[in-house]
Amino acid sequence: MMDDSIVFTNDFLREVFRGFYTSHTVGLPDRFARREYAFIYFGGRGMVRHISFHRRQDFIDYLREYAPAHVYYSSAYYQKPDASNMQEKNWMGADLIFDLDSDHLPNADRLTYTEALERVKKEFKKLVEDFLLGDFGFDKKHIELYFSGGRGYHCHVKDPDLLDMDSNERREIVDYITGKDFDDNVIFHDYFTDKKRYGGRTYSTGRTLRMPTPDTPGWKGRISRGIIDIIDEIRISDDPVNRLKEYGVKDKDAERLVKELSDERVKRIKNGFLDQSRIIKRFFLNRAIRRTAVALSAGETDEPVTCDTKRLIRLPYSLHGKTGFQVVRLSIDKLDDFNPLDDAVVLPSKPVSVTMNESFSITIKGEEYKFRKGEIDEVPLYLAVFLIGRNLAALRRT
């Protein structure tokens, strides 16, 4: 039997969401009748899926009647989207979806919610500007950007030429963006320095490693820029050895690397000459790849959304059940200015009383809040839903 307080909370959240869906019309994606829809309900057990809608009004009525906590739709198009068997759905194609979540970031567990949102937006911007618009050259008109309503961002690429790509083809795109299985011979190559003639033949007496110039297109220039940035970061550090240890470099290697980064060697590296130091080559290549690649998954065993041709993704303009924030569309040109703790907050501000389960601070809608565990506070509805949804607070009966 479900705890009475949980029932009370779920009823409260459901009514808040119902109020939003009653006063706001959530748009449907293109070719909406060819999509599968799925829902998770407040107090429900698992996901309810294999649902389709043939009329927009039917979908609007459904949201207003059931007020689900989470709303999803398929990136794929099907002939029979409501078939319960995936084979029977008859796949017709799928959008190319990129899902960046703050959980994919290094040391994500050490970041506050606000810090995580800031970091993942930088990662998302890198994906869109450097790779999708830059290296791949996708047209802006085929790219749609969304804040997920929770901890990340989604990018939908709707280029008609990509719809019928299979999982392997999509994985190739992911591997390129994440720098997987990168061959260092693509970046570095031997450059012979001194030459001498003997017996009518020319012999090399010295060599060094060369890397591309920073303005070289694609990964070559990206790696070079990353290496130079890392060198500058280490050089200006108050304690370069400890800085290298933070990167995961062992004590002895860190001390040796710092010694090898003399003024003359740094100058040579910035001019494209890495010399023949194995530790410099290994360290800087690995770090530059990690810095410039995009984290599209939580680890090597986690399959990125992009590779899945039948993945469910959050419906744009719906509400996120754990935050109450809206899945909002972003402008590519105004990505820097977007603030989810302002621009995605759409619920009313009427006061609600909550009891804090733990200490927490946040700035939302321009107001700073600092809470202590056990305190009873009256907060705006949009903040109450966020705190309750993330189990930071409990709804107080009045």
Indicate which residues carry an active-site annotation.
99, 101, 302
* CA–CA dist 168, 182 (Å, integer): 18
* CA–CA dist 264, 156 (Å, integer): 47
Cα 33 to Cα 193, 280, 312, 319, distances in angstroms: 65, 56, 15, 21
Q: 237, 280, 284: which is closest to 261 by C-alpha?
A: 280
- The SS3 of residue 347 is coil
The Cβ of residue 198 has, within 10 Å, a number of other Cβ atoms equal to 7
Q: 36, 29, 53: which is closest to 90 by C-alpha?
A: 36
Q: Give the number of C-alpha atoms closer than 13 A to the C-alpha of residue 363, restricted to the C-beta side.
A: 6
